[in-house]
Structure 1
Amino acid sequence: MKRSVTGKFALNALFVKLMLSFLSVILILASFNLFSHLYLSGKIYKEMIGQNELGLAQTVEGYENHFRLTQNMILALTQSDSWTANLGILSHLKENRRYDIPAEVISDLSTLYANPFLHIENFILYFKKENYVLEREGLSSAADMFGKYYFSAEYPPEYWSRQTMDNQFLKVMPAVTFTEKTIHSTRTLGRLMPVLVKAIPYEEVYGIVMLNPQLMQAAYGDAGNTPFYILDAQKNLLFSTSEGKLQTSQLPESGNAHERVGDQYYFYEKGKQTGFTYIRVTQVAAIAAEMRGMQLLLAVLLSAAVLISVLSSLIFSHRLNQPLQRLIAALDRKAGSRPEKLSSVKEFAIIGDRLSSILENNRFIQTDLDHKNSLVRQYAYTHKVKNIPLSKSLAELEDVRQSEQPYASILFKVSFKTLPDELEKHTLMLWKLVQNLITGGESESVALQPEHDQLMLLLFNPGPQSSFLQALDTLKELLDSETSLYLTIAVSPVYSGETSFTDAYNNLSMLLNERRLNGETQIIVEPRASSAKSFHLKVTHGEELHNLLQSANEEAVFAWLDRQLEQLQHKDAAAADFRAFALGAAEQTSKTVTRLNLPQAERLLPPPLEPFNAFHSMDQYKEWLRDLVRPVLVVISSRSESRDPIISFVLDYLDKHYGEDINLNLVADKLNLTPGYLSSIFKEKTNINFSEYLNNLRIERAKELLMNLELRIQDIALQVGYQNVNSFIRMFKRCAGITPGEYRKRYSRDDSLPSSGLGL
């Protein structure tokens, strides 16, 4: 017994070696963790300061570049001879009455506030001597502009009249909140930062540029909730993202600096061009408290981990050593003469008897794995393309990892004009044809099926793009004679290994949306330049369709829908644009049904399932839209036949006299009714207020008159019943979404096109 114990705990015994190995690993890991924490805890503050200084430097560079770009753009505009001449004329507008000049000046100013990178909300020219302003909406008095449309308690009209530029060309002023005050409503315009600009060479004229500081902060500032401040050269606060008071004890004369005030770090940097001081505030007290908590927690966890590891090592070493000792003993007994039975331990006997069967099973498993390797590979690549986290075993596959070798990707989407009886069989045969034709059985390619109707090919080291485009042209020629299906093929450029498979798939999915509306196989290599410019204008046609539906004129409604679809086809719109327009028309039809409170409204609403994925011609959209609106028109027509005579008189009177100065009291007097009773019965019968109906009627008539380029906007306003042109412009913009001038410019040309959606 003594000899047995001594042998068990000898230095070269398995148990001792296992135990010492476990303890060595535990000691090394514990020492490394302790050293790392002690070392890194001293570096964390320096790292925090460095990151904040770097982030502030990038923010300062963005703001400085923006102010310089804004100044250069304005300076380039003011140096124009035509600009100087026009300002001279506008300075004496009441004398010369040159009312054609404001439109030209507004067009020049549009180059500034139409630039999305300048973040300019408006450019206001203030003529102090004449006491009026010119901005993007037209002419206004200074009192109206700064007392109503751009009102702020910090910048009343008297403030602007006292401003002088002296020798300065550009002066940035503190950002405040502006509001638009009208008779019926008050609307906030958000925080804006006024910038005074000298209108060279006129002393009594200067520009007021309304910058949007929120957009500037989103473009150049910190994405988090870190407080940020901008001070001018006189240390006045220009802009801040926090309501808290700025507490500073020093500001740098130049360059950057930082200091700690209480529980906060203040980082400063002074702009080299503007002289502005940019300040960023970071909380550090919480970090310090968390560091102390982390140190205490680490000490507890480290002690517990060492104790648990030692105990676990002892248990694991004993459990591993004991069966091995028994197995060695059994082998020693077997070495002499083979007994009929290997000890009394059944498990060891089973181990010996099963070794041969285990090897045989391994050979079978290896063969089975070889057969299934391609399926596992496709599964793993599909997860990489769809950005789905892989299991640990799949993530370790070498051929699935993103390598440095170049590759190209092709995405095929099949669409059936008529569904075959065995859809899955037909689709599988098509994918096999595509794969054999494009890859030719090469090993450096992977075929995936991210969706039931899609096939994606990854071609590694593909060579130039033209090599596989020729194979795609051949495939297109083969499918041109096929009448039951067609393919949409999106082709990527040859990517470097740095581009992820997910990004490649997303880019190809966006290219699929470039498909045009026809039943032919299409190969799409890059987006068409016309798509972003022609089909995504934010123009609202909802009220126009609503009025046509409300008229119950089937011929007019069908003609309007056909005209919109034909315009889309004329502009070579994508199939997605036709789908978006049809969805917009369906949504407006639903709103019309709801607004008119039609009977059996649930039956008249469009079906929840859209059939557009199977559409491949404009006629299919025409037929679907007609089937959509036809029952609505029937119900509206039958409802109109039983219309109240009072409402009939009011509608007919408004249609004939909308250009006159009419109101609810006038019409009620003609019917010998009280205005309140007429208002309530009009709302009850038409589901719309009297004034709202009159304004919509006038604006629709104004749209027709705007197509006549010989009519001035002032004259059109008078013809449709608006005595004040500014009131007309504001009402038109509220109803149509754009000003009358923009509407005329956009729709008086032959190349105008409505949005791909109704924008409802």
Structure 2
Amino acid sequence: MKRPLTSQFARNGLFVRLMLSFLSIILLLASFNLFSHLYLSGKVYQEVVRQNEQALNQTVEGYENHFRLTQNMILALTQSDTWTANLGILSHLKENRRYDILSEVKSDLMTLYGNPFLHIENFILYFKAEDYVLEKEGLSSTSDMFGKYYYSQEYTADFWRSQTMDNQYLKVMPAASFTETTMNSTRPLGQLMPVLIKAIPYEEVYGLVMLNPQRLEKAYGDAGKNPFYIMDAQGRLLFSTAEKALPALEYPVSTSSHERIGDQYYFYEKGAQTGFTYVRVTEVAAIATGLRGMRLLLAVLLTAAVLVSLLFSFLFSFRLNQPLQRLIAALDRTTGSGPGKLSSVKEFAIIGDRLSSILENNRFIQNDLNHKNSLVRQYAYTHKVKNIPLNAKLGDLEDALHSEQPYASILFKLSFTGLPEEPEQHTLALWQLIQRLFAGGRAESESVVLQPEQDLLLLLLFNPGPQSGILQVLGTLQELLAEEHSLYLTIAVSPVYSGETPFTDAYHNLSVLLTERRLNGETQIIVEPRASSAKAFHMKVTYGEELHNLLQSGSEEAVLGWVDRQLEQLRNKDATAEDFRTFARGVAEQAGKTVMKQNLPELEVGLLSALSGEPFAAFYSTGQYREWLTGLLTPVLAAIRSGSETRDPVISFVLEYLDKHYGEDINLNIVADKLNLTSGYLSSIFKEKTGINFSEYLNTLRIERAKELLMNIDQRIQDIALQVGYQNVNSFIRMFKRSSGLTPGEYRKRYVGEDHS
């Protein structure tokens, strides 16, 4: 029986009561919103001004902190006794020709321009008296540097020659556009802000720091959304993001303020550290439009909210009332049939059973989906870290990544002092321990664990809080592993990045930090590169000649004593494990050169096989390096001693003659005449005894000597070609590239510029 409509809308009915309740709530919320709108509309202007002043204050703090940090790092460098002594030597480079310290000074410079947080494009040392500069690419004349490589109309070579510092230590100059001009093209370098530094105590030596003002603006400003200006204490414009000049303003002595001129607001503040004035410009129209737009939007939203609320209140009340009415009708029918039938109705029990079954299935499906989503999310993060493009079908995964949240990353590298029986089980247990340590009190969605390589674990922590908390957890892990002597970790910790920093860059920075590991079998936590880190050991020409002479002597005691001294020197300098690897590889390469000169081809294969793969991956002590080098050099020394006793006199004469006369115009016929032999017979016996043709050996000898001469940047390539026996420079360049894969100029630029001299 259908219930009458009047009973559904009775005064005490459910529908009327629901509507009255909704209307009361809507009226209350509408009144509150209207009052809030009327009250806050008068405060919006002050809030906009406050936000602009606060934004400028944050910008000023960022710039001031950056200038202070840059000055402190430069002061720390210039206060080094070694730095001062090296500058004194380089001030008279044409007299003393001490090119051997260039690499050390360049390494000191790299600690500044290599720091990505300082935004330094280059650090140039200008030796005014000598009229040359030293920068990251090497030595250049003042004219070439500021006429070609860093050319600007405002900062010519004559401008820098005329500069004096008087009693100043640091002078910041206006930003200007620079270009790099080569033989065939001109490449813009963008705007750079020169900072001139006095290299105390030398009056004629200056440091020139090239700051990148665009990256500073991106880091501390609002990335060009509003015009921004920096002026020094004398009112000179240092940097501007707009071409329009600033009007005359009455800048405060120390506090911030703002001023309206025409259609623009000028917000300005003076830096306490530098005395610079920072100005930010905001359009009046933007503030006024924002106010009008906000009032209109609030009015529209209030009206729409009231109308939509009324409509949905009616629909919701009606839709909620109708099922209840149908249920009441069904109950009425059941009641009319007798109370016994009411208990016999099974629909509610069936609905409950079905709902339980549905919920159980939903829980199972949800758990399965969560597990699969976790795997897919790890897959997406791994591709992000390694910069691998995602499949087009998986493009929606980008939305699931924490791409805009601040995060910190930690890279763990596992090493064993002794390989256990089941290394996979040890590795899995350690990775699980690390995840448990960082999972305490942290939601699962805020951390991601990746394994880029078998021995690497990358942990991404989103919204991690201060870095000190991360280091505290890592300290606990370090204490737990202190008693575990069969394995150790190298842990690289990043700072807390903003969401704009790509995961690929964070992973690359951590991989670089791993190379800072010191040589021992303990767990190490590395947060940043050490400023006092030992310079990488390279087999320099002098070291190579010394080792070559020792190897030729065949004295095992002398050679191993030399190795012990070099290893001890690296240990005393607190060198990294990578430095020890470089040293060991350099010794092996020099031994290979000596073996080639001694005509011991069977040992060349052994030396090459010893360097294949990763022979030093498991080394964690100087004793292991000494044992490896002893095993490598002992057979070489024995073969050299044996060869010196049994060497063929004809071959010995040829090798010694070529070693002394390789710079002359010699050939097979000339050497054969010296021995009263035919050239054909000498060629065959030389090939038989050495395993290499006469011409190939002579070219190899000349190219190796040329590589040593190329380390002196004062020598021209044409002169070096003549010194090693090539009358035609084009033939020399062709043979050099065939042997080394690089032209002589490319070889010099690479190895002199990278401290491989």
Q: TM-score range by the shorter chain?
A: 0.5 to 0.7
Distance of 1:658 and 1:288 partners within structure 2: 82
Q: Deviations over 1:409-450 (max 9, x none)?
A: xxxxxxxxxxxxxxxxxxxxxxxxxxxxxxxxxxxxxxxxxx
| Mapping for residues 240-639 of structure 1, pairs under 5 Å | 240-247=240-247, 249-283=249-283, 285-311=285-311, 313-314=313-314, 317=317, 321=321, 328=328, 331=331, 335=335, 356-367=346-357, 369-370=359-360, 373-380=363-370, 382-383=372-373, 490-491=431-432, 492-493=434-435, 494-497=437-440, 499-502=442-445, 504-506=447-449, 508-510=450-452, 512=454, 514=456, 532-533=514-515, 567-572=612-617
Distance of 2:31 and 2:222 partners within structure 1: 38
Aligned residue number for residue 31 of structure 1? 31
Q: CA deviation at 1:372?
A: 5.9
Aligned residue number for residue 583 of structure 1? none
2:177, 2:192 within 8 Å by CA — same for their partners in 1?
Answer: yes
Distance of 1:319 and 1:153 partners within structure 2: 78
Q: Deviations over 1:286-306 (max 9, x none)?
A: 353244234324434433443
2:711, 2:752 within 8 Å by CA — same for their partners in 1?
Answer: no
Distance of 1:258 and 1:73 partners within structure 2: 34
Aligned residue number for residue 586 of structure 1? none
Distance of 1:732 and 1:40 partners within structure 2: 72
Aligned residue number for residue 428 of structure 1? none
Once structures 1 and 2 are overlaid, which stretch shifts more, 114-123 or 180-189? 114-123
Q: CA deviation at 1:89?
A: 5.0
Distance of 1:70 and 1:233 partners within structure 2: 19
Once structures 1 and 2 are overlaid, which stretch shifts more, 140-149 or 95-104? 95-104
Q: Specify the code of the residue in structure 1 equivalent to 2:447.
A: A
2:491, 2:514 within 8 Å by CA — same for their partners in 1?
Answer: no
Q: Specify the code of the residue in structure 1 equivalent to 2:143.
A: A
Aligned residue number for residue 740 of structure 1? 751
Q: CA deviation at 1:142?
A: 2.3
1:229, 1:239 within 8 Å by CA — same for their partners in 2?
Answer: yes
Q: CA deviation at 1:18?
A: 2.7
2:260, 2:266 within 8 Å by CA — same for their partners in 1?
Answer: yes
1:194, 1:209 within 8 Å by CA — same for their partners in 2?
Answer: yes
Distance 1:735 1:264, change over 3 A: farther
Q: CA deviation at 1:20?
A: 1.4
Distance of 1:39 and 1:565 partners within structure 2: 81
Aligned residue number for residue 232 of structure 1? 232
2:709, 2:720 within 8 Å by CA — same for their partners in 1?
Answer: no
Q: Deviations over 1:231-254 (max 9, x none)?
A: 111121112233444456332211
Distance 1:100 1:477, change over 3 A: closer
Q: CA deviation at 1:169?
A: 0.8
Distance of 2:184 and 2:446 partners within structure 1: 50
The DSSP-based 3-state class of the residue aligned with 2:448 is helix
Aligned residue number for residue 720 of structure 2? 719
Distance of 2:261 and 2:608 partners within structure 1: 67
Distance of 1:166 and 1:297 partners within structure 2: 61
1:248, 1:261 within 8 Å by CA — same for their partners in 2?
Answer: no
Q: CA deviation at 1:228?
A: 2.8
Distance 1:297 1:572, change over 3 A: same
Distance 1:19 1:50, change over 3 A: same
Q: Specify the code of the residue in structure 2 equivalent to 1:376.
A: Q
Distance of 2:94 and 2:279 partners within structure 1: 47
Distance of 2:339 and 2:58 partners within structure 1: 82
Distance of 1:703 and 1:45 partners within structure 2: 76
Aligned residue number for residue 554 of structure 1? none
Aligned residue number for residue 64 of structure 2? 64
Q: CA deviation at 1:163?
A: 1.4
Distance of 1:28 and 1:312 partners within structure 2: 17
2:99, 2:712 within 8 Å by CA — same for their partners in 1?
Answer: no
Distance 1:524 1:132, change over 3 A: closer
Q: Specify the code of the residue in structure 1 equivalent to 2:515.
A: K
Q: CA deviation at 1:204?
A: 3.4
Q: CA deviation at 1:71?
A: 2.4
Distance of 2:663 and 2:40 partners within structure 1: 78
1:174, 1:194 within 8 Å by CA — same for their partners in 2?
Answer: yes
Distance of 1:702 and 1:178 partners within structure 2: 42
CA RMSD of aligned residues (A): 5.2
1:22, 1:313 within 8 Å by CA — same for their partners in 2?
Answer: yes
Distance 1:514 1:284, change over 3 A: farther
The DSSP-based 3-state class of the residue aligned with 1:739 is helix
1:192, 1:213 within 8 Å by CA — same for their partners in 2?
Answer: yes
Aligned residue number for residue 588 of structure 1? none
- Between the aligned residues of both structures, percent identity stands at 54
Distance 1:147 1:359, change over 3 A: same
Aligned residues between the structures: 493
Q: Specify the code of the residue in structure 2 equivalent to 1:509.
A: Q
Q: CA deviation at 1:135?
A: 3.3
Distance 1:167 1:526, change over 3 A: closer
Does residue 1:134 correspond to 2:76, yes or no?
Answer: no
Distance 1:319 1:514, change over 3 A: closer
Distance of 2:454 and 2:284 partners within structure 1: 50
Q: Which runs of 5+ in 2 are unaligned?
A: 379-396, 398-413, 415-419, 458-485, 493-510, 517-576, 580-603, 619-661, 666-699, 724-728, 730-735, 737-741
| Mapping for residues 151-230 of structure 1, pairs under 5 Å | 151-223=151-223, 225-230=225-230
2:231, 2:278 within 8 Å by CA — same for their partners in 1?
Answer: yes
Distance of 2:191 and 2:42 partners within structure 1: 42
Distance of 1:249 and 1:241 partners within structure 2: 18
Distance of 2:35 and 2:610 partners within structure 1: 71
Q: CA deviation at 1:369?
A: 3.6
Q: Specify the code of the residue in structure 1 equivalent to 2:233.
A: A
2:706, 2:721 within 8 Å by CA — same for their partners in 1?
Answer: no
The DSSP-based 3-state class of the residue aligned with 1:495 is helix
2:48, 2:287 within 8 Å by CA — same for their partners in 1?
Answer: no
Distance 1:180 1:15, change over 3 A: closer
Q: Deviations over 1:385-417 (max 9, x none)?
A: 7569xxxxxxxxxxxxxxxxxxxxxxxxxxxxx
Q: Specify the code of the residue in structure 1 equivalent to 2:179.
A: T
Once structures 1 and 2 are overlaid, which stretch shifts more, 40-49 or 176-185? 40-49
Once structures 1 and 2 are overlaid, which stretch shifts more, 488-497 or 134-143? 488-497
Q: CA deviation at 1:373?
A: 3.1
TM-score, with structure 2 as normaliser: 0.53
The DSSP-based 3-state class of the residue aligned with 1:58 is helix
1:511, 1:527 within 8 Å by CA — same for their partners in 2?
Answer: no
Q: CA deviation at 1:261?
A: 4.2
Q: Specify the code of the residue in structure 2 equivalent to 1:501.
A: E
Distance 1:162 1:17, change over 3 A: same
Distance of 1:259 and 1:292 partners within structure 2: 22
Distance of 2:163 and 2:299 partners within structure 1: 65
Aligned residue number for residue 118 of structure 1? 118
